[in-house]
């Protein structure tokens, strides 16, 4: 039977790889009481209700995306957060931008701040990829879909942000015009984007 020290070691290894929840401990056969015990010892920090990470865990600047994906696995990182992940902007978003199904319940998360947009059909499913961030599988819009989304949700992010993202995309993905057109059509913004594509391409 695993000792207390062994259970602590297993828990800390998990918490250094990615943010953990109580149910992760259930799978590892570790009592949930260990979370609070290690938090009081200063080894874990609670980043949100039911979500913990090791204090000494190496963290990327995209850690908040991993934390949100752990809490909202059906959500899709998009818009400004996806621009940052794809290095299509130098701005750091003030929250995590998340796309959810039009009929899904809005996530109740106190940290980090969420900016939620809704979609359905191809606008929701097109151009979504999986990416490992800080040990967590994160669903995120690919670069072309991210740019198209910026035009679709221009009232949320601003047309200037959409145009800057388009310029950066065309500079970094010169062979990605077909993907961009497909994404624009999935989002039903191709007519809006076409004049900008003709000028910038």
Same domain, 67 and 139: yes
Report pLDDT for 1: 42
> Global pTM?
0.74
pLDDT value of position 131: 92
Q: Is residue 86 scored above 70 in pLDDT?
A: yes
> Of 120, 67, 137, 123, which Cα lies nearest the Cα of 95?
67
Do 92 and 165 belong together in one domain? yes
Is residue 48 located within the same domain as residue 74? Answer: no
Percent above pLDDT 70 for the chain: 97
Task: Examine the domain organization and report whether 69 and 41 are in the same domain.
Answer: no
Question: pLDDT tens-digit profile of 44-59?
Answer: 888 777 778 888 876 6
**Based on the domain organization, do 76 and 174 belong to the same domain?**
yes
Higher pLDDT pick, 135 / 191: 191
d(CA 162, CA 193): 10
Model confidence pLDDT, tens digit, residues 152-178: 999 999 999 999 999 999 999 877 899
Whether residues 36 and 69 fall in one domain: no
Q: What is the pLDDT of residues 112-142, one digit of tens each?
A: 889 999 999 999 999 999 999 877 899 999 9
Let me know: does 44 contact 57? Beta carbons within 8 Å: no
Cα separation of 197 and 200, whole Å?
Answer: 5
pLDDT higher than 90, residue 30: no
Domain boundary among 18, 34, 54: 54
Token digits for 63? 């850690």
Statement: residue 14 has pLDDT above 90: no
């Amino acid at each position: 039977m695993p000792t207390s020290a062994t259970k602590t070691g297993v828990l800390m290894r998990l918490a250094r790889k990615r943010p953990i929840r109580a149910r992760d401990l259930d799978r590892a056969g570790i009592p949930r009481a260990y979370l609070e015990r290690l938090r009081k010892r200063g080894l874990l920090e609670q980043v949100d209700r039911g979500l913990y990470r090791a204090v000494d865990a190496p963290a990327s600047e995209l850690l908040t995306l991993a934390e949100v994906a752990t809490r909202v696995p059906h959500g899709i990182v998009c818009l400004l957060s996806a621009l940052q992940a794809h290095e299509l902007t130098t701005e750091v978003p003030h929250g995590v931008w998340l796309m959810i199904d039009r009929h899904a319940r809005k996530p109740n998360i106190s940290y980090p701040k969420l900016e939620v947009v809704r979609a359905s059909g191809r606008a929701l499913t097109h151009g979504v990829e999986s990416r490992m961030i800080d040990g967590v599988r994160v669903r995120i819009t690919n670069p072309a879909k991210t740019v198209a989304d910026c035009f679709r949700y221009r009232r949320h992010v601003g047309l200037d942000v959409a145009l800057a993202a388009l310029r950066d995309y065309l500079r970094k993905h010169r062979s990605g015009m077909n993907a961009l057109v497909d994404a624009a059509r999935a989002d039903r913004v191709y007519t809006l984007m076409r004049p900008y594509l003709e000028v910038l391409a």
